[in-house]
Structure formats: structure tokens, C-alpha cells
């Protein structure tokens, strides 16, 4: 399997709701400590905490749909870098936010912890 691609996940489960205060820049942050996918080389599970920070424009992500989306990665074999960037791309396409940051902090594998952070837009001041 090509570790740069992320097949098998399901972005169609993502849903939104209207931003209750679109005139204001405010930071939304949440953390998902139970993310799993699989190593594309060994097939062994990878565990991570994925943190999201964003400033919504017109839409916010609905959290149950985000949970289902993240669960869809459980059997996906992909490198950490590909997973974090794919999540960012999917959420940017869905939300069109003013700012979005996705950080994946992957548990130790081979004595190495990996943290991958991808951003869209400028962070709020």
C-alpha cells in the first residue's frame, strides 16, 4: 500500500452547523485522544491524539460527525504526515475556515514520538 495516500477513510460523514457568531473571530479548540490508524509498512496500529484549533467563518464542524470521520481511519494504512494533511484538507474543504490547525501527536514507535502539524490561514492574534 502507498503510505502517502489515505484510502479507506470516509469524509462523507462530516457535517456542519451554522456559526452562531460569524461576525466575530473566536478560537474553537478540541482534542481527540483516541485516534487510530495503521502503519503502512508493518500493519501495526498507530495511536495518536489529534488536536484541532480553528476560527470558523460561516460553518462549524459537528462533533459527532467528526468522531465518525476519525473512526473511519482505524484500518487505514498511511504515514502520519499524510493523515494529518488529509484531515486538514478535508476540513478546509468542508468549513472554509478563516484559520485551521490540525496537530497529530503519535505515540512512540521504534523509540520515536512523532508530532505533525498542518495549518491553513494565519493563526489568530
Q: Pick the catalytic residue: 15, 25, 37, 46?
A: 46
> Is 60 a residue of the active site?
no
Task: Tell me if residue 75 is catalytic.
Answer: no
Catalytic residue (choose from 39, 60, 89, 90): 39
- Which contacts qualify for 70-76: CB closer than 8 Å, 24 or more apart? 70/32, 70/35, 72/8, 72/9, 72/10, 72/13, 73/6, 73/8, 73/9, 73/35, 73/36, 73/37, 74/36, 74/37, 74/38, 75/8, 75/38, 76/6, 76/7, 76/8, 76/9, 76/37, 76/38
Active site positions, annotated: 39, 46
Amino acid at each position: 500500500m502507498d503510505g502517502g495516500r489515505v484510502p479507506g477513510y470516509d469524509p462523507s460523514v462530516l457535517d456542519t452547523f451554522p456559526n452562531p457568531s460569524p461576525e466575530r473571530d473566536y478560537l474553537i479548540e478540541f482534542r481527540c485522544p483516541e485516534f487510530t490508524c495503521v502503519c503502512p509498512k508493518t500493519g501495526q496500529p498507530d495511536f495518536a491524539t489529534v488536536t484541532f484549533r480553528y476560527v470558523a467563518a460561516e460553518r462549524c464542524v459537528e462533533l459527532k460527525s467528526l468522531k465518525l470521520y476519525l473512526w473511519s481511519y482505524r484500518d487505514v494504512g498511511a504515514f502520519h504526515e499524510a493523515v494529518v494533511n488529509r484531515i486538514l484538507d478535508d476540513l478546509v474543504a468542508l468549513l472554509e475556515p478563516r484559520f485551521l490547525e490540525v496537530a497529530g501527536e503519535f505515540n512512540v514507535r521504534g523509540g520515536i514520538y512523532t508530532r505533525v502539524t498542518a495549518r491553513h490561514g494565519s493563526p489568530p492574534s
